[in-house]
Structure 1
């Protein structure tokens, strides 16, 4: 199938398909005599897999490493990369929880200080993130 048909079937812009090709994530199976790219029948599924992996937070470099030429992914590699990504998400969640706690504490201090009163020093004392 040509790139336009692949774009319609996968719901992905032709520019994105070309970008994925440049990144080594998708390759045309051949070219027509006039130079048009021809893609395999499984190309729409491969593009959907790439899009899903991106939404989950995998980088294109990692996705390239996970997929073989037939569009199948290595379970072992995917498990390893999933564990790494989960650890990163957990670290981000912990940082956000600390930030939230600090913001709540600051808001409480400011509310207790009273409206209309100068807050010199109050903000400086409490603008800390644990």
Structure 2
């Protein structure tokens, strides 16, 4: 199928498809005599997989590493990369919780504050 048909089938702009091609995530199987890209029948599925992985937070480099030539994900690589991403999310959640606690302490201190300057500058975020 040509890029226009792939664009219609996937709901993705042709420029996005060309971008994924430039990034090594999707390759045309051939070109016509006039230079048009021809994509495999599994190209729409590969684009859906790429989009889904992006929504989960995987970078394009990681997605490229997870995909094999047939457009399928390697279970082993996907498990490894998802573990890394989960650790990053857990670290972010812990940092947000520390920030939340610091804000709650600040609010409690402000509720009890009796001085002239209601916004003390010595509050720290852990």
Q: TM-score range by the shorter chain?
A: over 0.9
List aligned pairs for 1:17-32, cutoff 5 A. Answer: 17-32=17-32
1:123 matched residue in structure 2: 120
For the aligned residue pairs, the C-alpha RMSD in angstroms reads 1.4
Q: CA deviation at 1:15?
A: 1.0
Cα distance in 2 between the residues matched to 1:7 and 1:76: 30
Cα distance in 2 between the residues matched to 1:18 and 1:111: 57
| TM-score, normalised relative to structure 2 | 0.94
1:13 matched residue in structure 2: 13
Superimposed CA distance per residue, residues 34-76 of structure 1 (whole angstroms, 9 cap, x where no aligned partner): 1111111110000000000011111111110110111111111
Cα distance in 1 between the residues matched to 2:44 and 2:107: 50
Gaps of 5+ in 2: none
Cα distance in 1 between the residues matched to 2:43 and 2:13: 14
2:50 matched residue in structure 1: 50
Cα distance in 1 between the residues matched to 2:112 and 2:36: 69
| TM-score, normalised relative to structure 1 | 0.91
Q: CA deviation at 1:32?
A: 0.9
List aligned pairs for 1:69-80, cutoff 5 A. Answer: 69-80=69-80
